[in-house]
Amino acid sequence: MPIRVLPPEVAGKIAAGEVVERPASVVKELLENSIDAGADDIRVEIREGGRRLIRVADTGSGIPGDEVALAFARHATSKLTDVQDLDRIATLGFRGEALASIAAVSQVTVLTRPQAQTIGQYLRVDAGQITLQEGRGSPAGTIVTVEHLFRTMPARLKFLKQPQTETGHIHTVITRYALAYPEIRFTLTADDRQLFQSSGSGKLYDVLIAVYGLDVAEKTLEVSNQPTGEAAGETGGESTPPPCQVYGYTSMPSLHRANRTYITFYVNRRWIQDSSLAHAVAQAYHTLLPVGRHPLAVLLLDIDPAEVDVNVHPTKREVKFRSSQTVFSAVQSAVRRTLVERSPVPVLAHSPRTWPAPDWERRQSLIAAGRGEPDASQLAMELYRPGGPFQPGDEPLPVGPVRLPLLRVVGQVGQTYIVAEGPQGMYLIDQHAAHERVLYEQMMSEHQQHAVASQTLLEPLPLDLDPILAGQLSEQLAFLNEVGFAVEPFGGTSYLVRAVPSILVVPDVRAAVIDILELLRQGDDPLAARAEERLIAAVCKRAAIKAGQTLATEEMQQLVRRLEQCESPRTCPHGRPTVLHFSVEQLEREFGR
Ligand code: ADP
Ligand code: MG
């Protein structure tokens, strides 16, 4: 076929496809227009998941009567004038495409009136053609009604989901904007039922409650890297704001979700998706969350518009930062600092009940005398939980060094758990998780001092690997040799192991090394920030005693002693708990004493 220029209706529909994928995309574009128009109240009404009708009514600036028709022309916008404006875009819209695209695939009417005009304009567009325009009485602001979306595009229509699902997408879009614009009151009504409303109070926290509920909002911490009023005052008001201001809310470590969709970012109040920023947040929670769990966060970034390019994605949901490293570390450190400074350490509401445990004081003084640790202040901050046994996720894990009290080993159950008692009750310790934690801290500190204890094998061990594991090994080679291994290539997919970390001197070293490579292959451990940490965690997982292993009393005592001395004794390196606590009160309550 010869090359031909497409007729405008066809070209228009193709272009519309980029912007209008489903009813929620229409809602998004109309909301952006209302926000750009300075509205303080935006009401969205939908029918049949938006397929039948979408109406967005706002209290914004309105469109002057003589410009309404132009608003539907492709590339007609009031938000840009020349190419330089593209470098510092401060509005949500700027391409002048949305109304034209929506009108190309539906039937649109607009009723609009700027405050200063007495009569409004009514305009009707059918499949891209203006079919009616007349003056009409109208409230100040703009009402856009979109009906029969995709009626002329059966292919698109087929891809729409159940009305309920499409309504869900629309709900998501509206709550996203509501979070970014707390000063605007947003309302969503679906088939005459109100599904969402924000107050327009100007407080982000109020919107957080409206969107996620009070239970969730209460488990969040306010994030801000802006200079506080006081600090700004102290330096004579001259403290300059950071180049990337970060504010919003992030969940306490006790609140987490199965995936990252609850991490929401805005750049200059535009919702964006950015997996690298999500990773920055994940890193800030390093070791604070159970493995595979993700925080909930609403983070707003304010940055000089000249430092971001918002014109890189058809629906503008991705942006490009001029200095992505600056933004990444601003996000990471703001969240991390919030967690470290503000995460509540469990407060002892009333003094915990204790019971007389044998040998208690003697053991305490022996340890204090011999090692100088753990000291009394650490003992005070122990693992007491008023609400019952420690369960992953139901209470904030305190951040910082919260150590274990001194424990007396009672015995082993199920060849898996160690039963111990402390002054405030009974403790159940997962022997594998606990040993992993002990080995991990030991190896990490040795690694930091570049002194990982290593053991040379009597005979070098040849490893013939399959290509995948060989690839894994060659990728890790440098790290392996930094953490106590001595491994060298031996041609093809073969390697020679001359030494291993001392903790890995187990009967079958070959199987251990292969297990470690397998562990690394399976897991992108989201909590482990760096490759060495992942490697060390894998080595410790393999080297730790297993469940199902009978332990002698002395072995258990030694393990518990070492766990007491850990910096973060209460979770394994992968974030699972090592210890459950049953308080004296709880036991008494359970037994009805
Ligand atoms: P863009 O938002 O990129 O400028 P649109 O096609 O979405 O392009 O809108 C075209 C123009 O119509 C806008 O630039 C604006 O001037 C006007 N407009 C659209 N919606 C509204 C509204 N709700 N209130 C006021 N003006 C509007
Ligand atoms: Mg627009």
Tallying the residues shown for the chain, one arrives at 593
In the three-class reduction of DSSP (H, G, I as helix; E, B as strand; rest coil), residue 490 is classed as: coil
- Nearest atom, ligand 1, residue 96 CA: 8
Sign of the alpha-carbon torsion through 39, 45, 50, 51 = negative
| Number of alpha carbons in the 13 Å side-chain half-sphere of residue 248 | 26
Residues 83-98 have pLDDT tens digits of 788 788 888 888 888 9
Write down the pLDDT at residue 526: 46
User: 212-230 pLDDT, tens per residue?
Assistant: 888 889 889 999 987 765 4
Residue 251 has pLDDT above 90, yes or no: yes
| Mean pLDDT in residue range 440-452 | 91
Q: Which atom of ligand 1 lies nearest, measured to the CA of 94?
A: 3
Secondary structure, 3-state, 24-66: HHHHHHHHHHHHHCCCCEEEEEEEHHHCCEEEEEECCCCCCHH
Beta-carbon contacts of 471 under 8 Å, excluding residues fewer than 6 positions away, are none
CA of 63 to the centre of ligand 1 (A): 8
> Over the chain, what is the mean pLDDT?
84
Residue 112 contacts residue 42 (beta carbons within 8 Å): no
Q: Which two tokens stand for residue 234?
A: 């102290």
Among all bound ligands, the one having the nearest atom to the CA of 95 is 1
428 close to 586: Cβ distance less than 8 angstroms:
no
Residue 523 sits at φ, ψ, to 5 deg, of: -105, 120
Give pLDDT, residue 381. Answer: 33
Q: What is the pLDDT of residue 350?
A: 46
CA distance 15 to 105: 10
Question: Tens digit of pLDDT for each residue in 529-554?
Answer: 577 888 898 899 999 998 888 999 88
Please report, rounded to a whole number, the percentage of residues in the chain having pLDDT higher than 70.
86
Tell me the average pLDDT across 472-481: 87
Categorize the per-residue pLDDT at 363 as very low, low, confident or very high, splitting at 50, 70 and 90: low
Residue 94 Cα, ligand 1 centroid: separation in angstroms? Answer: 9
Mutate to test the pocket of ligand 1, among 32, 77, 115 (most ligand atoms within 8 A of CB): 77
Structure token pair of residue 230:
């006081």
CA 356 – ligand 1 centroid, Å: 74
Peptide bond into 573 cis (omega under 30): no
pLDDT at 133: 96
Using only C-alpha atoms, the chain has a radius of gyration, in whole angstroms, of 31
What burial letters (b/e) apply to 433-444, b meaning 16+ CB within 10 Å?
bbbbbbbbbbbb
Nearest to 430 by CA among 574, 241, 591: 574
The token pair at 397 is 């894990």
Q: How many angstroms separate the alpha carbon of residue 28 from the centre of ligand 2?
A: 9
424 contacts 382 by C-beta, under 8 angstroms: yes
Return the best residue to mutate from 33, 41, 101, 186 for the ligand 1 pocket (most ligand atoms within 8 A of CB).
33
- Minimal-distance CA residue to ligand 1 atom 12: 71
Per-residue pLDDT at 403 exceeds 70: no
For the cut 90, the answer to whether the pLDDT of residue 286 exceeds it is no
Residues flanking ligand 1, CB < 6 Å: 29, 33-34, 37, 58, 60-63, 71, 76-79, 93-100, 142
**52 C-alpha to center of ligand 2: Å?**
21
Q: Residues of the chain with pLDDT > 90: what percent?
A: 47
301 Cα: distance to centroid of ligand 1 (angstroms): 25
Closest ligand 1 atom to residue 98 Cα is 6
Cβ-based burial of 30 (10 A; exposed 0-12, middle 13-18, buried ≥19): buried
